[in-house]
Amino acid sequence: MNYLSRFFVISLLLFPAACSTLYYGGLEKIGIPKRDVLVHRVEKARDTQEETKEQFKSALEQFTAVTNFKGGDLEAVYNKLNSEYEASAAKADEVSDRISAIEDVSEALFTEWEQEIAQYSNASLKRSSQHKLIATRAHYQQLITTMKNAETKIKPVLTVFKDQVMFLKHNLNAQAIASLKGELGTLQSDVSSLISSMERSINEANAFISTMEKK
């Protein structure tokens, strides 16, 4: 595949489709079935969750460092914490986008699969395909449920981050640092729960990818 062809394929895989039917049809015309698109998107979601996990670890470390502030430029401290918050919020949005993209292609894949099963004339082949569809759909449902569960852990952390960052911005004094210290225990617990959920989701994604690649 030449450079232009590779660029076209990558663009199609990453470009958010306005019309899914035309989009996936275009991919299939160049030899990329919905099944491969699904695997690709699960891989991207997995990678994004790994990045998100590391970002929230970094944000918690910065938050903890601020609670140990002993003097100096509080505005510079605020800027660092705000940067971590904004990076975390951006990753949260990316996680949601990745999950939506997976749901979109999975719906198209399973709908097509059901329609094609109805076209079988051989009963044995029809049953075999039906069993594979049921197994794949069940595994997919387990995957998407785990991903969404991890996603729900993000908002509580972001809410605390945002509140504390704004309070620090509006005060830049010892009272703001005291407020940060008061929330540290909650944040540590919430981030720990988030990371555990992300790791479960990442493991589930790897298992799903492995299963799909074997079929």
pLDDT digit string, tens, across residues 19-56: 577 888 888 889 999 999 999 999 999 999 999 999 99
pTM summary value: 0.87
Report the percentage of the chain scoring pLDDT > 90: 73
Q: Look at residue 20 in the predicted model and tell me its pLDDT.
A: 75
Cα(124)–Cα(29) distance, integer angstroms: 29
pLDDT of residue 15 exceeding 60, the answer is no
Q: For residue range 185-202, list pLDDT tens digits in order.
A: 999 999 999 999 999 999
Give me the chain's average pLDDT, please.
89
pLDDT of residue 11 exceeding 80, the answer is no
pLDDT of residue 90 exceeding 70, the answer is yes
**DSSP, residue by residue, 69-96:** --SS-HHHHHHHHHHHHHHHHHHHHHHH
Instruction: Select from 193, 189, 148 the least CA-distant residue to 63.
Output: 189
